[in-house]
Structure 1
Amino acid sequence: MKTQLIITADDFGFSKERNIGIMEAFSNGAVQSASLLLNCTGSTDAIERAKKTSITLGLHLNLTEGTPVGQDEYKTLTSSGIFRGRQGMRDSLTKGEIQISEIENEIDSQIKRFIELVGEKPAYVDGHQHIHLHPVVSPIFAAALKNHGVSVTRMPVEVNLKAKTWLGKEAFDLLSMFVEEARSSAGVLQKYNIRTSECFTGLSTMGANMTAERLQSLILEAFKTVEENLSVETVTCELMTHPGYPTPKEYGGFSWGTDDFGHSDDRIHEIKVLSSDTMINFYKAHKIVLVSHRELY
């Protein structure tokens, strides 16, 4: 079985500092794809940096934080012009308070803005805080991708979360919700011929939770799970990461600063782990080929 690994840097465009860190990781051969946020202080800077390289760019669809890319005022998708937040948006979606037409408009607007700024359609589209696979959003999302000729997304199902003993209850419950939403969307993605990697990991290894030992174990676990359940010649796994340098608390991100994780050294820690000789030697020893999302076409 041939094994391929896509290492994706999320939140590209969040801030200039984040962009510098992601491009450093790319230069080190530590990431191959970057998911671009379009409504942040570093969005333009990210695009300018990316155009000077061969990094594969995808759209990090955002319906939860900051201001929308589409029309200035939505009646339900935002509150006072701002997205409702990770849990606030999910609560409103579940209660049926969000107009479907507004979701359709915002997804379409973000894909069109990406094409306008980057000069080509995104190689893939995933979701900030995995909102693309919420049960209400996923059919709208999949239809939009098909309309724009985009055929690849993320399926954030990390196996055996209960074994990740370093996770606290709050983190475990949140990540379990993401996995449950993702699994429930599989049929929708299949209906619209939207492809994903055969396996995924990275939910449980953000920031200080990332170590070379854990990454190696989780990557091999993901490949093994596919090998045991599917008969395929090539297996591609996506590893979600969050490298970068600290964003100032007073300015950056969605213009008003960042949270503790974005301001901490945890993202520098990710650059170091991902770029380490330990990881490079691991890939070589296990004949894991590093690729970008373009391998999923």
Structure 2
Amino acid sequence: MPTVCFCADDFAMNPQIDQAIFQLIERGSLQATSCMTQSPLWANEALKLKQYATTIDIGLHLNLTHVFDAQTFSYPLAQLMLRAWSHQLDKTLIRKSIQQQWDHFVEVLGQQPHFVDGHQHVHQFPVIREILIDFLKEQRFKGWIRSLSHTVNIAPYQFKSQLLQMLGAKRLTRLCQEANFAQNEQFAGIYDFSITHYPNLCQQWFSHAEHQLLIMCHPSIGIPDTPDSIYNARIQEYNYLTSEQFFHDCTNNNIKLGRIGGYNV
């Protein structure tokens, strides 16, 4: 029986996302969530999230592209990619941002993250991944790091899956192996965020599940006050994950919902 972990990204990005995540945790649909600790919502929302630290994996969603305020260190995604692959990133500033986001997490939750990943997968980019791994070694990190090395490729999203995989997944996996950091074995949740039949996508991902399949999701209960280009997709994900069909689909595909790890952090 394969284990599947649904991880909701973007905790603390906006209230609608946070409300969806809390409801889905209570319902048993989520086994992990990944947090944006630079958000002005973080401190208050994290205090509510803290009660679930023994039942789900709570991770750090490393952010270098989303702007929360004038103090946020970030680049537009295309510019960050150009700077990363041309090795023009300021290593001191990257390290400082990682440290600050980590400290915000630990200060409120009183523990290290169960795992680390990246908003728009920036944690696997050149320069950033090396700085991150060195930082985590210094922290004696005991959790896991999101891997895209073995993505579940389904039509018509094979190209996007392969592209994301090519953006540093294999190199990050080698660095994790050298540092003895655990990772998820499979990864899914990649599509174009258009209005599609999300339950069908999940059933296809389920059919490819072998062991420790991490499915990235982005649920929300409604339209936020701030711009969000994928809010329609967020709502359809939430609707499915709150439905009885979701649990029927898990049962029918012999899926066990469970955490990736992080129990001893």
| TM-score, normalised by the number of residues in structure 2 | 0.87
Q: Which runs of 4+ in 1 moved over 4 A?
A: 172-175
Partner of 1:78: none
> CA 1:149–1:289 in 2, change beyond 3 Å: closer, same or farther?
farther
User: C-alpha separation between the residues in 1 aligned to 2:41 and 2:257?
Assistant: 27
Structure 2 residue 150 is the aligned partner of structure 1 residue 152: no
Confirm or deny: 8 A CA contact 1:197 1:296 kept in the other structure: no
Partner of 2:36: 37
Confirm or deny: 8 A CA contact 1:146 1:192 kept in the other structure: yes
User: C-alpha separation between the residues in 2 aligned to 1:294 and 1:159?
Assistant: 19
Confirm or deny: 8 A CA contact 2:34 2:60 kept in the other structure: yes
Partner of 1:270: 237
Partner of 1:259: 228
Letter in 2 for 1:285: N
Query: 3-state SS of the aligned residue for 2:144?
Result: coil
Query: 3-state SS of the aligned residue for 2:212?
Result: strand
Aligned-pair distance for 1:260? 2.3
> CA 1:293–1:244 in 2, change beyond 3 Å: closer, same or farther?
same
Partner of 2:217: 241
Matches within 5 A, 1:141-220: 141-150=132-141, 151-157=143-149, 159=151, 161=153, 163-165=154-156, 167=157, 175-180=161-166, 181-204=168-191, 206=193, 208-209=195-196, 211-220=198-207
1:96-144 Cα deviation digits (max 9, x unpaired):
2212122122212211221011111101111111000012211211122
User: C-alpha separation between the residues in 1 aligned to 2:151 and 2:224?
Assistant: 34
> CA 1:119–1:247 in 2, change beyond 3 Å: closer, same or farther?
farther
Confirm or deny: 8 A CA contact 1:210 1:273 kept in the other structure: no
Letter in 1 for 2:178: K
Confirm or deny: 8 A CA contact 2:62 2:101 kept in the other structure: yes
Confirm or deny: 8 A CA contact 2:152 2:187 kept in the other structure: no
> CA 1:50–1:139 in 2, change beyond 3 Å: closer, same or farther?
same
| TM-score, normalised by the number of residues in structure 1 | 0.79
After alignment, is 236-245 or 146-155 more displaced? 146-155
Identity %: 22
Q: CA RMSD in A?
A: 2.5
Q: Which structure 1 residue ranges, 5 or more long, are not aligned?
A: 73-80, 224-234, 250-256
> CA 1:147–1:102 in 2, change beyond 3 Å: closer, same or farther?
same
Q: Which structure 2 residue ranges, 5 or more long, are not aligned?
A: none
